[in-house]
Amino acid sequence: MKKFETTEALVNYSATAEQKTFRELCKNKRTVHKGGLGHIIEESFFGYTINSNKEADFKELGIELKVTPIKLNKNGSLSAKERLVLNIINYMEEYQQTFYTSSFWQKNEKLLLFFYLWQDKTDSLDFTITKTYLHTFSEEDLLIIQNDWKIITTKIKNGEAHLLSEGDTSYLGAATKGANASTLREQPNSPILAKQRAYSLKASYMTALVRTLVDPSQLTKFTTKDQLKRLSLPEILQNKFKPLQGMKLEDIATTYDIKLSNAKSRVPQLVSGVLGIKGTKLENIEEFAKANYRFKTIRLEQNGSMKEHMSFPQIDFNEWYHTPFEDSSLFEMFEATTWVFVIFAKDESEQLYFKDLVLWHMPKQLIDTTLRDFYDTTQQILHNGVSVTPTKRGNRNNLPNAKFNGVCHIRSKARDGKDTVTLPCGATITKQSFWLNKEFILDLL
């Protein structure tokens, strides 16, 4: 095993792995499996035996080693391929610690990251290590992570480890971890067994980190250290918008000197303008990027109703056909995302005014029951073959509709009747999206 007297020596040696493939570094021809690439770095590059010690991998320096994939997107940008899974949470011990005595901090105060470029249809051994980087948490990040840790451990202390969800927190998550989702562990103050979970840095946090390494000017902050010492990220965001309640859209624009353009761009322009960072896209606001905050506009009629259901991205039916629920993009979207509903309502003169801003993530219980049943039912229909019936108004199918469960459904979201997709069974239908029912949204509000 290689020994390093200083952090600088470790960092300098790690950099020699850059632009090399795992095949070039592998010395013992280890069979690559999930986690195998990390084992190659541990055994072949650093020469130490794989372990599950409580201490950091380089304990004399307090540095933990992590090997993690990035991917190149179609638009040329880089993003993390997945969350960064850290150490397993011992429910019976962790809640009794302080943040600085916690297993998270003892293990992960400093992270030596080996980023490699994941490429589809490429042998894992031929993936290239593109960057090595010693990550320490900024003071601002640490304040948010401390609050996240408190949220996680408070749930554990209250006997609610079985209700943990990545959507509970901003940067630091509690991700399911184990051979399968049925891996269960005891928890304090409850007889209910909880799924095994590990601390993780969200994929959104890792994506923001990757992009900052490429171009430090990409992301803009809207919070300060002083604010984060007193308030949580959601509280700061809500406080920014509280003075706007009851103001007409045009009056907000005038007050904050915001130039509003077309309807699609208005909410991003409004949000960034109110936060004092005009001209910045919401995905380039650092806190939103790292915490995976996504914005949705809700328009209420004078009587408080909604005209339309709430739409989400187009469904990839091939993915839904082949992928189990807990590995699906639908599960990930609701497990790890905080939705920020920007709510407008019409007054007596039909003008829009700002009503409220609500942060929401889908509760774990709803994900594990209603959403899972919806996905499994849809997957079964895909396996059996979707029934498409011509009607006077187009084609009707037997995918779950708005009456299915009162929460979510599938319906068309296409440019026109010619904007179609071919299903795994060979049938052709107009492109479809996932929708949350408007009645469900109104109940939330």
Residue 386 in tokens: 């979707």
Distance separating the N- and C-terminal Cα atoms of the chain: 58
- CA 167 to CA 83: how far, in whole Å? 13
**Do you know the residue count of the chain?**
445
CB atoms under 10 Å from CB of 327, counted, come to 11
DSSP assignments along 119-166, one per residue: -TTS-GGG-EEEEEEEEE--HHHHHHHHHHHHHHHHHHHTT-GGG--G
CA angle 289, 215, 41 (to 5 degrees): 85
The whole-number pLDDT of residue 29 equals 63
Q: Which residues pair with 335 in a beta bridge?
A: none
Per the CB < 8 A criterion, the answer to whether 112 and 10 are in contact is yes
Query: Is residue 305 helix, strand or coil?
Result: coil
Contacts of 415 (CB under 8 A, 6+ apart): none
Between β-strands 310-314 and 432-436, what pairing exists: parallel, antiparallel or unpaired?
antiparallel
CA angle 122, 76, 319 (to 5 degrees): 55
Query: Is residue 23 helix, strand or coil?
Result: helix
* Helix (H) or strand (E) run with residue 310 in it: strand 310-314
Closest Cα partner for 214 from 273, 141, 130?
130
DSSP assignments along 174-239, one per residue: EEE-SSSTT-EEEETTEEEEEE-EEEEE-HHHHHHHHHHHH-TTS-B----HHHHHHS-HHHHHHH
List pLDDT tens digits, range 205-229. 999 999 999 888 888 999 999 999 9
> CA torsion sign, 424 to 428 to 430 to 435?
negative
- CA 441 to CA 445: how far, in whole Å? 6
List pLDDT tens digits, range 308-346. 999 999 999 999 999 999 889 999 899 989 999 999 999
Question: What letter represents residue 173's amino acid?
Answer: G
Question: What letter represents residue 229's amino acid?
Answer: K
The whole-number pLDDT of residue 30 equals 53
Residue 273 in tokens: 């303008």
- CA 20 to CA 41: how far, in whole Å? 12
Closest Cα partner for 346 from 304, 403, 296, 312?
304
Question: What letter represents residue 302's amino acid?
Answer: Q
**Eight-class DSSP state of 308:** S
Per the CB < 8 A criterion, the answer to whether 47 and 39 are in contact is no
Torsion of CA 38, 40, 46, 50, to 10 degrees: 70
The whole-number pLDDT of residue 270 equals 85
Residue 440 in tokens: 């469900």
Q: State which residues of the chain have pLDDT below 50.
A: 31, 34
The whole-number pLDDT of residue 263 equals 66
- Residue 106 C-beta-side C-alpha neighbours within 13 Å: 12
Q: Which residues pair with 408 in a beta bridge?
A: 436
